[in-house]
A and B are shown apart, each in its own frame.
Chain A
Amino acid sequence: MEFHHVERRFGDNVVLKDIDFAIEAGKFYTLLGPSGSGKTTILRLIAGFNSPTSGEIDFDGKRINDVPANRRQVNTVFQDYALFPHMNVAENVAFGLQIKGVGKQETAKRVKEALHLVQLDGYGEREITEMSGGQRQRVAIARALVNRPKLLLLDEALSALDHKLRVEMQTELRQLQRQLGITFIFVTHDQEEALAMSDQIMIINDGTIQQSGTPVDIYDEPLNHFVADFIGESNIVPGIMKADYLVTIDGQDFECVDAGMRPNERVEVVIRPEDLDITTVEKGQLAVTVDTQLFRGVDYQITAHDQRNHEWKINSIHKTTVGATVGLAFDPEDIHVMRYNESEEDFDARLDSYEEDE
C-alpha cells in the first residue's frame, strides 16, 4: 500500500496535503493525531469511501484511486462498530461472505472460526442488542476478519470502551495481528494506545505526516514541538546549542547526546517528566520550588518552577513537600534537542551522521 503525494479537499478546505507513505505487509501501523487532523480521512481513502483530489494510491503495485470500496481487499472496523441491528451476531459476521456468494457450509465454518478468533464462541445466535460494548467490538472485528482482508482498518475502534476493557482489547488486537499476519492500520487520538500496540506510528497533524517511526524512536526522539507535546508528557524549554554535545538552558550549560547543528543555534530542549529525579539542591543540576503534587497510584505528578519561572513537570515515585525547594537531577541521555522547522529527512540524516561515529 502506497500513497504518492495524495491531497484531499472538501470544497476549499484542504484536509490532506501531500501525503506520502508506504505500508509494509504484516505490520501494525497507527495513525495518531488530534481530532480534525485528517487521520480518518486517510483511512477513508484507503477503504475507498472517498477518492483523493490529486495524487495516487497504490495497492500491490496497482493504482486503486477509482476502485470502489466494495471491490477492495480492505475491511474496516468502524468507531461505532456499524453492526447491522436487524441481524444477529452470526448473520452480521456472515454478511460479507453471503454477498460474495460463498457457499453455506463454508460460510458457517468461517463464521465459527472468526467468532472463535475473537473469543465469542457460541454467541452466534445472540442479538446485537444483547451484547455489551466490548462484545460488539469483537463482533465488528470478526465481521471484518472473516473476509480475510489483506488490510484491516480500525477507526478509533477502542475509544468507546472503558479504560480497563480498552487495555485488554489492545493486547488482544496486537496478539490477533501477530497471529494472522494481516496488516493493521489503526487510527487513534490516544497516544498511549498507539505506543502500546504499534510497530510503526505515523503522527498526523494539520493534514500532514509530522513524524513516522517506531514507538520508541518517536517517544525518545520527537522531531518537533508538536510531536514532543502530543506523545507523552514533556518539559519543553528553549535553549542554545553551544557546540556538539553541549546545550545551554537559561545560561546554564548541560552535557547532552545531540549533535550536528550550527554553533549557537536556537533550539528546543525536551526532558521527559519521568527522567527527572528529585534530590537535594546541592546534588541537582537545577533548583526548583515545588508548586503542586498529585498522587496517581504509580507515582506522584509534581509541578515545580525554577528561578526563571519555567515550569517543570516531574513524575516521581518519591514524595516531596509542596513549597520546598529541591534539586532536579538528570543524565545527558535524558536531554533531547529539537531544531526549529527541521524536516523528517534532515532529522534522520543528522541522527545517522553522528550516531555512526559512536
Chain B
Amino acid sequence: MSKKHFSWGKVYLALVFIILYAPIVYLVVFSFSAGKTMEKYHGFSFQHYADLFADSRMITIVINTMIVALLASLIATIVGTMGALLIKGSHRKWRNALLSLNNVLMVSPDVIIGASFLIFFTMLGVRLGFASVLLSHIAFCIPIVVLMVLPKLNELSPTLVDAAYDLGASRWQSLSRVVLPAIAPGIFAGYFMALTYSLDDFAVTFFVTGNGFSTLSVEIYSRARQGINLEINALSTLMFIVSLLLVIGYYFISKHAGRRNRIVTVKEGDAQ
C-alpha cells in the first residue's frame, strides 16, 4: 500500500481478508509441523502427509466424496436446468409459487433437510449408504442450479427464441442451438456451485450416511472428536489447494467465455 493511495477502506479490506484467511494459514502451517499437536511448532516435516497417503481408509473416503460430488452435481445440473426452463415457461401465476418453493429449499437449515431425508429414506426402506447420500446431494443441489440458471434465462431476450423459429428452427433446435448455448455460463456456474456444495456438505450427509460409507466432512468430524490429528491438517491443506485450483480454473474459463459473451462471474469456492 503506497502512501499516495492510502485510505481507510483499503486497511479495512486488508484486515477483513487477514481475519478470514488467518485460521487457514494457521492450519496449513501446522500441517508441516513435525509435532503431534498444534500447541507448538516443531519444525518442518512431511510426516503428516506421509501418514495421510498411507491411510487407505482416508483415501477411499476422499474418492467416495469426489464420486458423490461429481455425480450429484452433474445430475443436479441436468435436472435443475430443465427445471429452470420449465419455471421460465410456466404461467406467471405459477412461476412465483414454484420459485418460492425452490428458495425455501435453499434457505431451510441443512439439519432439517438432513433429518427429513433420514425419515424419508427409513420410511421407504432405502438402505443408508452411497445411494441415499447421492440422492440427497442431488436433491439439495437442484435448487442451487435453478437459482444460477434462471437469471441467465431471464436475461435472454424473448425475441431470441422468436428469431430462431423465424429462421426455420424447430422447438428442439431453438432450445439446443440457441437457448442452451446462450445460458451455458449459467449452467456452468450452477455446476460449480453444486460441486462445492456437495463437496463440503456435512449436515445432510451426516444424517443419511450409513455403515461403511462416509464422506470427508463426516470423517473429519468424527476424527476430530477423538482429538486433533495433524493428518487432518494435511488433508485440509490439500483440499484447500484443490479448491484454490478450481477457483483459478473457473476464473480463466469464465474470462475466456466472457470474451464471447459477458457472463456473471461467480466468485465462489470455499470448499473447506
Point out residues on A near B: beta carbons under 8 Å.
47-49, 68-71, 74-76, 78-80, 82-87, 95-96, 99-100, 127-129, 143-144, 147
Contacts and interface: CB of A to CB of B under 8 A. Distances in A.
Given A75-B166, A78-B159, A96-B168, 18 more contacts: A47-B162, A48-B165, A70-B170, A76-B163, A80-B159, A84-B163, A84-B178, A84-B182, A86-B184, A87-B181, A95-B169, A99-B168, A99-B177, A100-B168, A127-B260, A128-B261, A129-B262, A144-B166
A350 B48 CA distance: 103
Nearest to B180: A86
B173 interface: yes
B181 A68 contact: no
Given A70-B170, A79-B159, A80-B157, A86 B165 contact: no
Nearest to A94: B167
A86 B176 CA distance: 12
A258 B160 CA distance: 50
| Chain B facing A: main interface SS | helix
B258 to A, nearest CB: 9
B167 A96 contact: yes
B91 interface: no
A78 B162 contact: yes
Name which of B164, B173, B182 has the most chain A CB atoms within 10 A of its CB.
Answer: B164
Given A70-B168, A76-B166, A99-B169, A82 B260 contact: no
Given A76-B162, A84-B160, A99 B184 contact: no
Given A78-B159, A79-B159, A86 B167 contact: no
The 6 closest A-B pairs by CB, nearest first: A96-B167, A82-B163, A82-B159, A85-B261, A86-B181, A69-B165
B5 interface: no
* Secondary structure class of chain A's binding surface, majority of residues: mixed
Contacts of A74: 166
A49 B167 contact: no
B93 interface: no
B4 interface: no
A129 B157 CA distance: 15
B259 interface: yes
A85 B162 contact: no
A147 B163 contact: no
A99 B165 CA distance: 10
Interface string B219-234: 0000000000000000
Contact of A70 (B157, B165, B259, B260): B165
B182 to A, nearest CB: 5
A109 to B, nearest CB: 18
Which of A78, A82, A100, A143 has the most chain B CB atoms inside 10 A of its CB? A82
A76 B177 CA distance: 19
Contacts of B170: 70
24 contacts: A47-B162, A68-B165, A69-B162, A70-B169, A71-B168, A75-B166, A76-B162, A78-B159, A78-B163, A80-B159, A82-B159, A82-B160, A82-B162, A84-B163, A85-B182, A86-B184, A96-B168, A99-B167, A99-B173, A127-B259, A127-B260, A127-B261, A128-B261, A147-B168
Contacts of B178: 84
A349 B69 CA distance: 79
A78 B163 CA distance: 8
B165 A49 contact: yes
B117 to A, nearest CB: 38
B20 to A, nearest CB: 35
Interface in B139-157: 157
Nearest to A73: B168
A49 B168 CA distance: 12
A128 B259 CA distance: 10
B156 to A, nearest CB: 9
Contacts of B166: 47, 49, 69-70, 74-76, 144
A308 B91 CA distance: 57
